[in-house]
Structure 1
């Protein structure tokens, strides 16, 4: 299939785009380099991050932008220096598409490319070192460095693989980095796109106990079907911090809304427990007492997506454990409607746009 010099996709021109005002139109991708590949997009997940960028929630967006960083498709063009991919391969692109990969970079040389300080480039709403824009996967094609493309195992359907490339990796990384596995008791705060992956991967990692934590009991049945051993509905159990105190070793918090009561969640951790925040609120998390940490020798941390090594390990685990994301396929033509539905909390638990 011939390479495209002009792409077509859903272009966001201002903050109103999050309300369903993206326009399908042509745009010019970055110039093709010999380190690049070009993908014909077949599937692209919708991430909460997409909504944040569309409305300039974290920072002013560099409009016009094309969002989408859970991309799966087939390679249609390969640069001469690319060694890992060939035309026809089914590959995926996640939230990061470039880092410096230099041996003198502390992050890249230690397989932590997501923390590169030199050439960290997100898959969209960003610029490459030469000033050209990075565009995402709400489109027919994607173009960018081949070093951040991942081969998709044959037994993982594209609509399942797509949301793993950001949503899945974002929770897989802190799980494995903090010892999730046999004997560990893991809590997952928030049962949305990220949270449902955290439950699925915690079970696949054979954690001793997995507890889903959400405001209401409306997702209890779903959580148990995903493999959760227990479920806590915080708005319906007034004494939940006391009733479940010291019952967990690790908490993965995926929520990004206001009103996160850190002290109550910390009370669930046993001695030497850890809470890792992966949800990215647009407002600060409310203050809490230092004694919440001191009394039980607790740790609080954060985690940004994951490394390329972890992405490959995650896809391998998903293949071997036959992990199935809970997704609803939507036509790419319905991207505006799907974005609005996502913002209204209707996804159960990830929308995937299909070309």
Structure 2
């Protein structure tokens, strides 16, 4: 079915695109079906996953690729099979565009763990309808099952990074008992980690501890709402001083050189560490078996969040008036924004804007 608008965006054509070499151009979205929604993009968050993909850090990227999976905008075309969205609604799409809908994980509401998932960009739809393209663009087309209503009271620019960055930490916090009576640590207080502090507080944790390398972030992290701060490079004997003080740790760090055994030492007996950061190549430091055995510690992982969890998180954010720390950038400045993101300049999440 023809449209009166073009799908155009910032396209990465090779691994050098992460150096500010994306090119603006037209692309062909997936073939339209009555299960789809077309979105006029107003805002798109900039995620670390965008950088990994642009440089083929997680495997060879199928160039050309338009990244961006924290998409918010207006629904301009809605398939006849979609009942929860209508034309004109303010909607969003996160890191997942589709799942098989038939496996045991999908049927259990764990669509984010479907083995036949389709990512929001740089992936092929399993029904042969084409390749997925993200939100550094004018328009985006995605299956309606992964298109979400943005609640009243949530600013579009603030909602956008919640759709990946927010739910990536909300899901493991919620699923591992974050709430009253719990003491929670967030490792790596950046684009992901600052959401961890905000959502751990919103879920009612008794104490939230920000954990990062340098003491220079301490004032910012406390201002976010953390009760304490640990600087692993600057605080002497930090793992011993804070030993067995936390029930749950969510690690957002994407580094194979993180002091993982030190983080595990912070856990109480039978405590849990959940890893959400994904280093290039996927390698993590070795874990001493006696560290696990001695404390009865559990180590696990978590991937984004299910559709139900995304809706739940958005409602919590609206109800609790959660405001992530964002920096708006014009969509035309996407290349410079990616370079600044790679250089670690974000405080704490860049959002590309088409309408501001």
**Counterpart of 1:28?**
28
Deviation at 1:238, TM superposition (A): 2.4
Describe the SS at the equivalent of 1:210.
Answer: strand
**Counterpart of 1:8?**
8
Describe the SS at the equivalent of 1:13.
Answer: coil
**Counterpart of 1:198?**
196
Alignment of 1:229-268 (within 5 A): 229-268=227-266
**Counterpart of 2:296?**
297
Higher alpha-carbon deviation: 66-75 or 214-223: 214-223
CA 1:4–1:214 in structure 2 vs 1: closer, same or farther (change >3 Å)?
Answer: farther
Contact persistence 2:255–2:284 (CA under 8 A): no
Q: For the residues of structure 2 that align with 1:4 and 1:68, how far apart are their CA atoms? A: 23
Alignment of 1:1-355 (within 5 A): 3-4=3-4, 6-102=6-102, 105-117=103-115, 119-131=116-128, 132-283=130-281, 284-355=283-354
Q: For the residues of structure 2 that align with 1:31 and 1:274, how far apart are their CA atoms? A: 43
Unpaired segments ≥5 residues, structure 1: none
Q: Structure 1, residues 122-175: CA drift from partner, whole Å, max 9, x if none?
A: 000100013310000000000010110110011000010000000000000000
Describe the SS at the equivalent of 2:166.
Answer: helix
Q: RMSD over aligned Cα, in angstroms?
A: 1.0
Deviation at 1:4, TM superposition (A): 4.6
Q: For the residues of structure 2 that align with 1:288 and 1:246, how far apart are their CA atoms? A: 17
Q: For the residues of structure 2 that align with 1:271 and 1:77, how far apart are their CA atoms? A: 53
Higher alpha-carbon deviation: 39-48 or 261-270: 261-270
Contact persistence 1:169–1:310 (CA under 8 A): yes
Q: For the residues of structure 2 that align with 1:3 and 1:267, how far apart are their CA atoms? A: 57
Unpaired segments ≥5 residues, structure 2: none
Contact persistence 1:5–1:29 (CA under 8 A): no
Q: For the residues of structure 2 that align with 1:60 and 1:4, how far apart are their CA atoms? A: 34
Contact persistence 2:91–2:148 (CA under 8 A): yes
Deviation at 1:111, TM superposition (A): 0.7
Q: How many residues align?
A: 351
Deviation at 1:216, TM superposition (A): 0.4
Q: For the residues of structure 2 that align with 1:322 and 1:4, how far apart are their CA atoms? A: 37
Contact persistence 1:39–1:141 (CA under 8 A): yes
Describe the SS at the equivalent of 2:145.
Answer: helix
TM-score, normalized by length of structure 1? 0.97
Q: For the residues of structure 1 that align with 2:296 and 2:44, how far apart are their CA atoms? A: 41
Describe the SS at the equivalent of 1:351.
Answer: strand
Describe the SS at the equivalent of 1:342.
Answer: helix
Moved over 2 A (4+): 2-6
Deviation at 1:5, TM superposition (A): 6.3
Contact persistence 1:3–1:77 (CA under 8 A): no
Q: For the residues of structure 2 that align with 1:92 and 1:101, how far apart are their CA atoms? A: 20
Q: For the residues of structure 2 that align with 1:164 and 1:254, how far apart are their CA atoms? A: 15
Deviation at 1:262, TM superposition (A): 1.4
Describe the SS at the equivalent of 1:133.
Answer: coil
Contact persistence 2:6–2:139 (CA under 8 A): no
